[in-house]
Amino acid sequence: MGIALLAACTSGDPPETVAGGAVGSYVVPSGIHKIKHVIMIMQENRSFDSYFGTYPRATGIPMHDGVPTVCVPDPAGGCDRPYHDTADMNGGGPHGVANAIADVNHGKMNGFIQQRDAAKSSCKVPDDPACNGHSGIPDVMGYHTAAEIPNYWTYAKNFVLQDRMFEPVRSWSLPEHMYLVSAWSARCKNHSPMSCANSIVGPYGVNAFGKAVHKELATGQTSIDLAWTDITWLLYAHHVSWSYYVQTGSQPDCPNDQAETCVTVRQSAATPGIWNPLPLFGDVQQDHQLHNIQPLDNYFHAAATGTLPAVSWVVPSGPDSEHPPNSVHRGQAYVTALINAAMKSPDWNSTAIFLSWDDWGGFYDGVVPPAVDQNGYGLRVPGLVISPYAK
């Protein structure tokens, strides 16, 4: 169950025993049973280096005397080094499958600016930060520090920062969210799981599906079948409570995985979408579990009253998501409110929070993703574990 629950934040390290023994066995620490509530907070589109590349002792941006030693080729000439980006609104870069492959570039990790510049030609809003970057510099090379994200760095200092966390697939938000709830991304021809085939771009919301599918999703009326089993079936079968909390508002991303700007699409707990795939799973419908997909206000009420379910997922709307070009400090304030609610809850002493970002958003990262299967891993993303038992 743990592998599936945390599949969207997958460690690149090989499995081994607590004592460092052979692969294939795992000794469960006795203290794990103190955890009765798992909360997964998933934000949007930041690489590890863009948020924690200069965090002390983390595997981040190589430096010499405070100056980055890496320099990524710039199609306009020369190369660009990572730089401290103090802007609250960032542009990032395109983050589809092709972009992920090009950014990594056979392990050279040097395609970020070329991909970013290629995407600028599609921009239709001249003053959009996603099209301009910071002061004319491609901000995919920018990194933030505690000056811009003090709360995140404080969580890293007081709890656990993970610098070997990778996307499960080298792709965009939809397949990452599929992995978050089911450890797979596929397309199905009908209600039979045998009709499902692996799909790294996801079953809907991209390219050829475009506006027609998005209109279906916006109205909650769709013929899309997600016929394979997701993690909630196991939770239901073993009488483990769960809720998937969706912030009402706008979807953080575009239906086209390589677009940077698009028309706003509304989202809510009642509307299937990129960040709310569970209503489309056959087992969720058949087990009459749709009521477990709830508005965000219910999370705060459950935390305050000590009635958090055993497993919670929390996903944002656009303005609070940190998805470029949305505000970094606003997203951090939203996440802080979620964590504060858990810390003040009667359930805190039995809680573990897993905070991560679903994909790299086109931002630079210098660590080569481990190759594990045909889907990934994707690029490295930040991961934080926040709990009374995580030090």
Structure confidence by residue, pLDDT tens digits, 122-166: 555 444 555 655 445 679 999 999 999 999 999 999 999 999 999
Please, what's the b/e burial string for 277-313 (b: 16 or more CB within 10 A of its CB; e: otherwise)?
A: bbbbbbbbeeeebeebbbebebbbebbeeeebbbbbb
Indicate whether 185 pLDDT > 50.
yes
Confidence of residue 7 (pLDDT cuts 50, 70, 90): very low
325 compared with 30, residue with greater pLDDT:
325
Residues 281 and 253 in one domain: yes
Residues 205 and 317 in one domain: yes
Residues 122 and 185 in one domain: no
pTM, whole model, 2 decimals? 0.88
Residues 92 and 165 in one domain: no
Residues 96 and 167 in one domain: no
Domain boundary pick from 94, 124, 143: 143
Q: Give the pLDDT mean for 323-333.
A: 95
366 compared with 127, residue with greater pLDDT:
366
253 compared with 171, residue with greater pLDDT:
171
Residues 167 and 258 in one domain: yes
- Residue 27's pLDDT is 74
- Whether residue 24 is contained in a domain is answered as no
Q: Give the pLDDT mean for 343-362.
A: 97
Range of the domain at 79: 67-143
Q: Give the pLDDT mean for 30-51.
A: 94
Percent of the chain scored above 70 by pLDDT? 81
Residues 174 and 310 in one domain: yes
Tallying the residues shown for the chain, one arrives at: 391
Torsion of CA 181, 184, 190, 195, to 10 degrees: -150
Confidence of residue 3 (pLDDT cuts 50, 70, 90): very low
Residues 170 and 129 in one domain: no
Residues 355 and 264 in one domain: yes
- Residue 22's pLDDT is 42
Residues 297 and 356 in one domain: yes
Contact between 141 and 364 under an 8 Å Cβ cutoff? The reply is yes
Domain boundary pick from 97, 112, 143: 143
- Residue 151's pLDDT is 98
Contact between 12 and 326 under an 8 Å Cβ cutoff? The reply is no
Total tally of structural domains belonging to the chain: 2
Percent of the chain scored above 90 by pLDDT? 69
